[in-house]
Amino acid sequence: MAEVDTTTNAGQLLAAASGGRRRRGDRIFANTTTIAAVTILALLAGVAIFLITEGFPAFTADATDLPGGKTFIDYAAPLAFGTVLAAGFAVVVAVPLAVAVALFITHIAPPRLSLTLGYLVDLLAAIPSIIYGLWGIFVLGPAAVPVMKWLEEHLSWIPLFEGPASSTGRTMFVAGLVLALMILPIVSAVAREVFAQTPRKLQEGAQALGATRWEMIKMTVLPFGKGSVISGAMLGLGRALGETMAVTIILSVSGAVSFNLISQANPSTIAANIALNFPDSSGIAINALIATGLVLFAITLATNFAARTIIARQNIQ
């Protein structure tokens, strides 16, 4: 960065040395860009401020006025639970798969192909969420029904697969799988970048000592990329927490609070609940929905904040 600074200074010196008209042009341009930069920060602050002002009435409102006749906490808690459950399941499924995909692209596939394969994975990120939703309800859901039946028959001692298995596929299990698919490219992009940066001398050193490819990956690539994979997983978590349409379309909601992934009775998520109820709501119900949006904003912000802090710390090292 030192290089940039010297040229900046040189530019300023030269600008200062030349005529006042030029200096004015410089000042105007510099100020315009600064204003744009500050606008971004103001925008982020604005999102928080407007959500707080519009959501606040719901915090203090009488329970009888709120949807379902419950206090805001009772209203929002099951939704927050559903949000975390769906996103958590998605991350558990997506992260190992994303690491494998990243390893395949960086270390196993022929180097000539790796760029193209990278594009293919990125394509998953380009597909709009509404299409994931339609695919989930029409294709993956029906296909997952026998799988869920099997899980119920053989693994029902695990609370997650307690059953009774849904016969429509509109379950947390399917919604979570679709979410996993949606965050896969995010996690794998972060992992891919850092795996490719593993110092060559470490990798070659391991191989020179006779390590097999997997031992080389286990001893050099994975330890080197561990931190980034964790932060990538958190970025994915942030995305999964806020993902709306896929869950809205797939999940059949009942407001139940249960870890059961395969049954018909599922908790809704904050985002899906907003999308389902917002168009037909008015008055204090709108404020309540905005307030849940504020909760979601806070959760995702905290997640992203943590992930970015980890990444920033790694970059310094």
Residue 266 DSSP SS3: strand
Q: Does 32 bind another protein (CB under 8 A)?
A: yes
- How many whole angstroms separate alpha carbon 123 and alpha carbon 120? 5
Chain residues 179-208 in contact with another protein, contact rule CB under 8 A: 181, 184, 207
Alpha helices (H) along the chain: 2-17, 20-60, 72-103, 111-126, 129-135, 141-155, 172-196, 200-208, 213-216, 222-242, 245-250, 270-277, 284-316
Using rule CB under 8 A, residue 286 touches another protein: yes
Pick the closer one to another protein by CB: 32 or 314: 32
Residue where the block lists tokens 């050099």:
220
Place of tokens 């379309």: 249
213 binds another protein (CB under 8 A): yes
Q: What φ, ψ does residue 201 adopt, rounded to 5°?
A: -65, -30
312 belongs to the binding site for another protein (CB under 8 A): yes
How many helices (H) and strands (E) the chain has is answered by: 13, 0
**Residue number with CB closer to another protein (63 or 139):** 139
CB of 153 to another protein, least distance (A): 16
We find the least distance from the C-beta atom of residue 159 to another protein, in angstroms, to be 26
CB 246 within 8 A of CB 179: yes
Binding of another protein at residue 314 (CB under 8 A)? no
Q: Nearest CA to 174 among 282, 228, 247, 122?
A: 247
Contacts to another protein from residues 239-278, by CB under 8 A = 239, 241-245, 248-249, 271, 274-275, 278
For residues 115 and 105, what is the distance between their CA atoms, to the nearest angstrom?
8
Is residue 115 involved in binding another protein (CB under 8 A)? Answer: no
Residue owning tokens 């679709």: 178
Binding segment for another protein (CB under 8 A), chosen from 19-27, 159-167, 191-199, 259-267, is 19-27
The yes or no reply on residue 113 touching another protein (CB under 8 A) is no
Cβ 288 vs Cβ 278: under 8 Å:
no
Q: Does 221 bind another protein (CB under 8 A)?
A: no
Query: Minimum CB separation from another protein for residue 231, in Å?
Result: 11
Non-local CB neighbours of 81 within 8 Å, separated by 6+ positions: 257, 267
- The residue from 211, 230, 265, 310 that contacts another protein (CB under 8 A) is 211
Separation of alpha carbons 31 and 11, rounded Å: 16
Choose between 36 and 157: whose C-beta lies nearer to another protein: 36
| Angstrom distance (rounded) from CA 109 to CA 218 | 17
| Cβ-based nearer residue to another protein, 191 or 258 | 191
Does 120 help bind another protein (rule: CB under 8 A)?
A: yes
User: Judged by CB under 8 A, does residue 222 bind another protein?
Assistant: no
Q: At what angle do helices 222-242 and 172-196 cross, to 10 degrees?
A: 140
Q: How many residues bind another protein (CB under 8 A)?
A: 108
Distance, CA of 300 to CA of 296 (rounded, Å):
6
With CB under 8 A as the contact rule, the residue among 74, 138, 168, 226 that binds another protein is 138
Using CB under 8 A as the binding rule, whether residue 110 contacts another protein is answered as no
**Residues 46 to 105 in contact with another protein, rule: CB under 8 A:** 46-47, 50-51, 53-55, 96-97, 100-101, 103-105
Q: Pick from 57, 88, 135, 145: which binds another protein (CB under 8 A)?
A: 135
When asked if residue 305 is in the footprint of another protein (CB under 8 A), the reply is yes
